């Protein structure tokens, strides 16, 4: 237990230079999806940064963008293995596994109810808007 407490109290900056995986087999799905989301965000950010600031700089711009992409990729990979964040993601996956998900028929029925309610409220709001608009036009306000 004391070694886990020592590992979980590490700072993020020291974790970035570590190569070990924390609780390798726990919370795999949510950690992989979180890492993928970080990688996509980094890739879009680097692409946009290159497009705005580095276009026309030649090979230096591409090298800088590649270095940013590599650093962001490493950051995303190490972030999901940072003990504090990894424990959070593991607990999230455990809680999601406790959820009782609806069956397909329940989901379809609930979706139909929601769509009907939205459609009904849209008609009501449109009617009220038309009435107020007609009233204000008749009074000469608008």
**pLDDT tens by residue, 53-71:** 766 677 787 888 899 999 9
The structural domains of the chain, with segments of one domain joined by +, span 24-99, 102-142
Is the pLDDT assigned to residue 140 strictly greater than 80? yes
Lowest mean pLDDT among 16-20, 38-42, 125-129: 16-20
Q: For the segment 73-130, what is each residue's pLDDT rounded down to a tens digit?
A: 999 988 888 888 889 999 998 998 899 989 999 999 999 999 999 999 999 999 999 9
Is the pLDDT assigned to residue 52 strictly greater than 90? no
Per-residue pLDDT at 21? 76
Backbone angles phi, psi at 102, to 5 degrees: -70, 155
Is the pLDDT assigned to residue 141 strictly greater than 90? no
Q: What is this structure's pTM?
A: 0.61
DSSP code per residue over 30-93 = HHHHHHHHHHHHHHHHHHHHIIIIITTSTHHHHHHHHHHHHHHHHHHHHHTTSHHHHHHHHHHH
Per-residue pLDDT at 37? 95
Backbone angles phi, psi at 19, to 5 degrees: -115, 0
């Amino acid at each position: 237990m004391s070694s886990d407490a020592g590992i979980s109290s590490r700072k993020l900056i020291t974790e970035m230079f570590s190569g070990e995986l924390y609780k390798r087999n726990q919370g795999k799905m949510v950690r992989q999806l979180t890492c993928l989301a970080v990688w996509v965000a980094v890739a879009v950010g680097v692409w946009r940064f290159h497009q705005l600031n580095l276009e026309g700089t030649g090979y230096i711009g591409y090298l800088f963008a590649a270095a940013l992409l590599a650093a962001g990729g490493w950051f995303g990979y190490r972030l999901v293995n940072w003990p504090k964040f990894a424990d959070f993601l593991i607990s999230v996956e455990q809680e999601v596994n406790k959820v009782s998900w609806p069956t397909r028929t329940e989901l379809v029925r609930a979706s139909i109810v929601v769509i009907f309610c939205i459609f009904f409220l849209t008609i009501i709001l449109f009617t009220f808007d038309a009435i107020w608009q007609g009233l204000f036009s008749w009074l000469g306000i608008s």
